Amino acid sequence: MRGTRTRRTHAGRAVIATASDAISHVRSEVQSRPWWYTTLLAIGFITLLTAVGVLFFGINSGPSTLVISDEVPPVDSLDFGVAISRLVGAPIERGGTIQVLNNGDEFLPALFQAIDGAKASINFSVYIWEDGAISDQLLDRLIRKQSQGVDVRILLDGLGGRKAPGDRLDVLEKAGGHVQKFRMPKFGSWTRFHRRNHRRSIVIDGETGFTGGMAVADQWLGHAQDPEHWRDMMFKITGTLASSLQGAFVDEWAGSSAELLVGPRIFPVSSATSSAGVERFINKINSPADDDHSMDYFFVLPILAARERVYVRTPYFIPDGPLMKALEKKAQAGLDVRLLVPGPVTDNRMARFSGQSRYEVLLKAGVRIYEYQPTFLHAKGLAVDGKWSIVGSPNLNSRSRELDEENAFGILDASLGARLDEIFIADLRHSKEITSDAWRRRNPLLRVLQAASRVLDQQS
């Protein structure tokens, strides 16, 4: 015993001596350097700590649970419309048509036809823009329309648009078109660089628009026929819906270009005032602030209002407390609650593992979970009771709730709800359902990866 105690004492002294030597070495190094060198080193260290804090520890600052003052009215009631409108700060509107476009084979022909028919203006904003076949075909048309006198404006995200072909965009600008970049890295704004413009707002003549999950890159070609071509949806909208979508473009354009877009070439009166079309909609244009969690409420309230079923599809499932509890509550109440997420083919494994770390709780509550198998599922949206649908750019993750600029429509329209339900069920045929028994028997290493990803998923 005495020998063991002696060895421990010697080991402890050795550790202390090593620490003392290290401190002495650091002190000597600091004293041997000029004062300005030490000052800059300290500033750099503080800056690094600040950046880490801004990027990772300021997210998910919303409430972990929500208290509802009364029973949430059904989604097709005016009471629900008024409640969600006031809650997220967006007006109730009506009118306009909406059409679902599955994958590139349906989206690109509709987009190109609308651009070819443009007479006054084309405003184009998506998150990703990469050189390739889609970009070439699109820019050929945009350059041609600009040369014909149509005002063409492209808003590129400073990060998502970094692979856009600069030479072709220069040709567009020389023809009179306008190209701006949102939030480029520069002195004084670096702490906001990680907050990106994730909106999808494409509007032609203020009368026809497109929004959803797709962008300008060749993974959106085709019909999701292989792992290199993604499964996604866009939505063609007209009338009041398109006029409202224009708002998701003009405010970001003003901040990036200092140009305020006004007048009938941007907002034709006929499109802004027609009430024919969908029964009711709310356009949530989100620019997150630290204490604003309205995008979260935009999804949670319709789930709490559900009476029959809730169908959720998302490429990145990283729910916060209120969303998890809403799904659990409705499943426990006996509603048909289903979640469709990517399977093995994904562009973000950490996000997938993090989402999977929530499966056990959801399965226990009665939520049915499906993983899409053929390719990466990038389609997103929510359908409640076949009546209320949410479509647009947001994912169900931390970035969409608290970091990125997003836009989404909540739409009361039975025909759209029925169509989205039909597509959802069709996609389940290409998906693998996750069962409780199989999930409990999963690989122990997978459990570790899922737990670790959940800790590190704040930027996913």
Residue 390, domain member (yes or no): yes
Q: Are residues 100 and 157 in the same domain?
A: yes
3-state secondary structure of 16: helix
Q: Are residues 313 and 185 in the same domain?
A: no
Residue 117, domain member (yes or no): yes
Residue 365, domain member (yes or no): yes
Q: Are residues 335 and 408 in the same domain?
A: yes
Amino acid sitting at position 124: F
Residue 83, domain member (yes or no): no
Q: Are residues 335 and 384 in the same domain?
A: yes
Helical axes 321-332 vs 294-305, angle rounded to 10°: 0
CATH of the domain at 151: 3.30.870.10
Q: How far is CA 196 from the centre of its chain?
A: 10
Residue 133, domain member (yes or no): yes
Here the tokens at position 246 are: 């224009």
Q: Are residues 25 and 117 in the same domain?
A: no
pLDDT at 103: 98
pLDDT at 5: 46
Cα–Cα distance for residue pair 208/213, rounded to 1 Å: 17
3-state secondary structure of 292: coil
Q: Are residues 253 and 322 in the same domain?
A: no
Residue 115, domain member (yes or no): yes
Domain final residue, candidates 277, 304, 320: 277
Strand pairing class (381-384; 431-434): unpaired
Q: Are residues 255 and 301 in the same domain?
A: no
Q: Are residues 170 and 310 in the same domain?
A: no
Q: Are residues 229 and 361 in the same domain?
A: no
Q: Are residues 174 and 209 in the same domain?
A: yes
Residue 233, domain member (yes or no): yes
Here the tokens at position 39 are: 């000052």
pLDDT at 276: 82
| Residue numbers of the chain with a pLDDT score lower than 50 | 1-17, 19, 54, 56-58
pLDDT at 270: 79
Query: pLDDT of 176-214, one tens digit each?
Result: 999 999 987 766 565 566 789 999 999 999 999 999 999
Cα–Cα distance for residue pair 206/248, rounded to 1 Å: 12
Query: pLDDT of 320-341, one tens digit each?
Result: 999 999 999 999 999 999 999 9
Among residues 201, 217, 200, 222, the alpha carbon closest in space to that of 130 is found at 217
pLDDT at 186: 66
Domain count, the chain: 3
Q: Are residues 32 and 139 in the same domain?
A: no
pLDDT at 377: 98
Q: Are residues 225 and 362 in the same domain?
A: no
pLDDT at 296: 95
The residue range of the domain holding 7 is 2-56
Residue 78, domain member (yes or no): no
With beta carbons less than 8 A apart as the criterion, state whether 63 and 245 touch: no
